[in-house]
Amino acid sequence: MGGNTFMDIGLGHYLAVSAILFALGLVVVMTRRNAIGILMGLELLLNAAGINFVAFNRFSAPERMDGQIFVIFIVILAAAEAATALALVLNIYHQIHTANVDEAHLLKE
Partner 1 sequence: MSAVGCGREGEWALSFHAIIFWALAAMTIVPAIGIVVSKNIVHMAFWLLGTLMGVAGLYLHMEADFLGMTQVFVYIGGINVLLLFGIMLTNREPLYVRAAVKRPAIASAVLLGVVVAVGLIQSYGATEWHTAKDVVIEAGASGSAESMGRPSVKPMTAPGLLDPASAEGVTNGDGTAATLGTYLLSDYILPFEIVSILLLVVLVGAAYIARRDPEGGSA
Subset of 14-43 contacting partner 1 (CB under 8 A): 14-17, 19-28, 30-37, 39-41, 43
Helices 35-60/66-96 angle, 10° precision: 180
Binding residues with partner 1: total (CB under 8 A): 79
**Does 104 help bind partner 1 (rule: CB under 8 A)?**
no
**In the chain, how many H helices and how many E strands?**
3, 0
* 45 in contact with partner 1 (CB under 8 A): no
Cβ contact 25:42 at 8 Å: yes
Asked if residue 51 binds partner 1 (CB under 8 A), the reply is: yes
